[in-house]
């Protein structure tokens, strides 16, 4: 188990370094000059050269990447002489736009994205799994048909369409909810939930539909296994068979999916956050795109990758808990 964990952690680090390298390279290979972007419109040649040197852009690519990784691990000093900037651990560089450390920007926005992702995840797991399991247990019944037609239709709706319809229906016409205005959980838990309810719903509709489909098919497969028949044959109540024997094994494929999805969403749901005006990481990222703020873009990409990789690792470890057949 410990050996397995150590090997996996090493793998996590390797994957992150690879992703950082690929992302880093792409930003330098594709035609765009960060120094020119940072320098602004009226930029003299000498000033551009100075900024280049300050940013380390006059160094070879591998050197820049090495500096960047060192910065993340230990912090580093950017530039030299009177303009030297001390960038503390974990250093992801400074935003070109407002000269704030990227790390601070991310930490600042993360609670919003995490609130959105976790709330939506709770909602979609509840809706999706109960719909999927209900449909699987009554396979080919009317309930099954209705649920699955609904799921395939909901999964085909783009999240921006659902969001606009929800805003129009629940806010403009029915006036049931306020227009989302993010309130921190610490300040006002009720206001936090009320304001996030709509974005949660918008995301949860899409994901619940996908989870209902996935959990239905995996549950049907599991319930056809011989050990389920054995459990039934020895006279266990149906409830016990479904919950204790069926759900545990049937949920492993769903767990894999969940790790990926939650990991991806934690670092910002770009579309949902921009539609509902939530100041999360996704919005930060979207804003950085239009201004070409590359340290921020790179920082968000790395954060997202970290979440995905760590979530996958957590899921693999959880397998052993959920499915007793899995051993490390």
Partner 1 sequence: MSTISPPSRAGSGPWRLARAELRRRPSVKVSLVVVTLFAVMAVAAPLLSALGGWGPEEFDKSAVDPYLGGLPVGPLGGVSAEHWLGVEPVTGRDLFARVVHGAQVSLLIAFAATAIVVVAGTAAGIAAGYFGGRTDSALSRLMDLTMSFPSLIFMIATMSVARDVNRIVLMTLVIGLFGWPGIARVVRGQTLSLKHREYVDAARVGGSGPWRILTREILPGVAGPVIAYTTLIVPGMIATEAALSYLGVGVRPPTPSWGQMIAESVAFHDTDPTYFVVPSLCLFLTVLAFTLLGDALRDILDPRGSRA
Residues 6+ apart with CB under 8 A from 9: 313
Query: Based on CB atoms, which residue is closest to partner 1, 31 or 186?
Result: 31
Helix (H) or strand (E) holding 48: helix 45-55
Compute CA distances 241 → 238, 319, 325, whole Å.
5, 19, 17
To the nearest whole angstrom, how small is the minimum distance from the Cβ of residue 144 to partner 1? 9
To the nearest whole angstrom, how small is the minimum distance from the Cβ of residue 83 to partner 1? 26
Query: Based on CB atoms, which residue is closest to partner 1, 76 or 162?
Result: 162
Closest CA to 116 of 301, 271, 286, 285: 271
Helix (H) or strand (E) holding 78: strand 76-78
To the nearest whole angstrom, how small is the minimum distance from the Cβ of residue 38 to partner 1? 14
Rounded-to-integer distance, Cα 296 and Cα 99, Å? 11
Query: Based on CB atoms, which residue is closest to partner 1, 4 or 168?
Result: 168
Query: Based on CB atoms, which residue is closest to partner 1, 120 or 192?
Result: 120
Query: Based on CB atoms, which residue is closest to partner 1, 15 or 317?
Result: 15
Query: Based on CB atoms, which residue is closest to partner 1, 36 or 193?
Result: 36
Query: Based on CB atoms, which residue is closest to partner 1, 84 or 164?
Result: 164
Contacting residues toward partner 1, per CB under 8 A: 15, 18-19, 22-23, 26-27, 30-32, 139, 152-153, 155-158, 160-161, 164, 168, 172, 216-218, 220-221, 260, 264, 267-268, 270-271, 274-275, 285-286, 289, 292, 294, 297, 300-301, 304-305, 307-309, 312
Secondary structure letter of residue 185 according to DSSP? T
Q: Which residue has the tokens 């006036």?
A: 175
Tell me the Ramachandran region of residue 292: left when phi exceeds 0, alpha when psi lies from -120 to 50, beta otherwise.
left
Rounded-to-integer distance, Cα 59 and Cα 79, Å? 12
To the nearest whole angstrom, how small is the minimum distance from the Cβ of residue 157 to partner 1? 6
Q: Which residue has the tokens 């229906």?
A: 169
- The token pair at 208 is 């619940």
Rounded-to-integer distance, Cα 249 and Cα 270, Å? 33
Cβ atoms of 106 and 300 closer than 8 Å: yes
- The token pair at 29 is 């290979």
To the nearest whole angstrom, how small is the minimum distance from the Cβ of residue 172 to partner 1? 7
End-to-end CA distance of the chain: 5
To the nearest whole angstrom, how small is the minimum distance from the Cβ of residue 20 to partner 1? 11
Query: Based on CB atoms, which residue is closest to partner 1, 125 or 223?
Result: 223
Buried b (16+ CB within 10 A) or exposed e, 245-268: bbbebbbbbbbbbbbebbbbbbbb
Strand 76-78 with 85-87, pairing: antiparallel
Q: How many CB atoms lie within 10 A of CB 88?
A: 12
Query: Based on CB atoms, which residue is closest to partner 1, 76 or 283?
Result: 283
């Amino acid at each position: 188990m410990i050996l397995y964990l150590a090997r996996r952690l090493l793998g996590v680090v390797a994957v992150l370094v690879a992703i950082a390298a690929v992302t880093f390279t792409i930003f330098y290979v594709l035609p765009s000059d960060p120094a020119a972007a940072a320098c602004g419109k009226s930029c003299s040649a000498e000033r551009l050269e100075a900024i280049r040197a300050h940013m380390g852009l006059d160094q070879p690519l591998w050197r820049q990447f090495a500096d960047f990784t060192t910065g993340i691990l230990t912090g580093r000093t950017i530039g030299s002489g009177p303009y030297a900037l001390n960038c503390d651990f974990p250093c992801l560089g400074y935003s070109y736009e407002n000269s704030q450390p990227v790390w601070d920007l991310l930490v600042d926005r993360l609670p919003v994205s995490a609130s959105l992702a976790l709330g939506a995840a709770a909602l979609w797991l509840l809706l999706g799994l109960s719909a999927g399991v209900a449909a699987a247990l009554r396979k080919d019944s009317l309930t099954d048909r209705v649920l699955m037609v609904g799921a395939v239709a909901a999964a085909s709706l783009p999240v921006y369409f659902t969001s606009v319809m929800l805003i129009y229906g629940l806010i403009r016409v029915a006036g049931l909810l306020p227009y989302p205005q993010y309130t921190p959980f610490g300040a006002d838990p009720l206001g936090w939930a009320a304001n996030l309810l709509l974005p949660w719903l918008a995301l949860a509709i899409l994901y619940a539909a996908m989870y209902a489909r996935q959990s239905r098919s995996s549950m049907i497969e599991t319930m056809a296994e011989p050990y389920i028949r054995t459990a039934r044959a020895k006279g266990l109540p149906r409830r016990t068979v479904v919950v204790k024997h069926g759900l545990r094994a049937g949920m492993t494929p769903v767990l894999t999916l969940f790790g990926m999805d939650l990991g991806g969403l934690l670092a910002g749901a770009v579309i949902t956050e921009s539609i509902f005006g939530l100041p999360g990481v996704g919005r930060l990222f979207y804003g950085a795109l239009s201004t070409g703020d590359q340290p921020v873009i790179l920082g968000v990409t790395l954060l997202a990758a970290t979440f995905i990789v760590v979530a996958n690792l957590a899921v693999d470890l959880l397998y052993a808990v959920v499915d007793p057949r899995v051993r490390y």
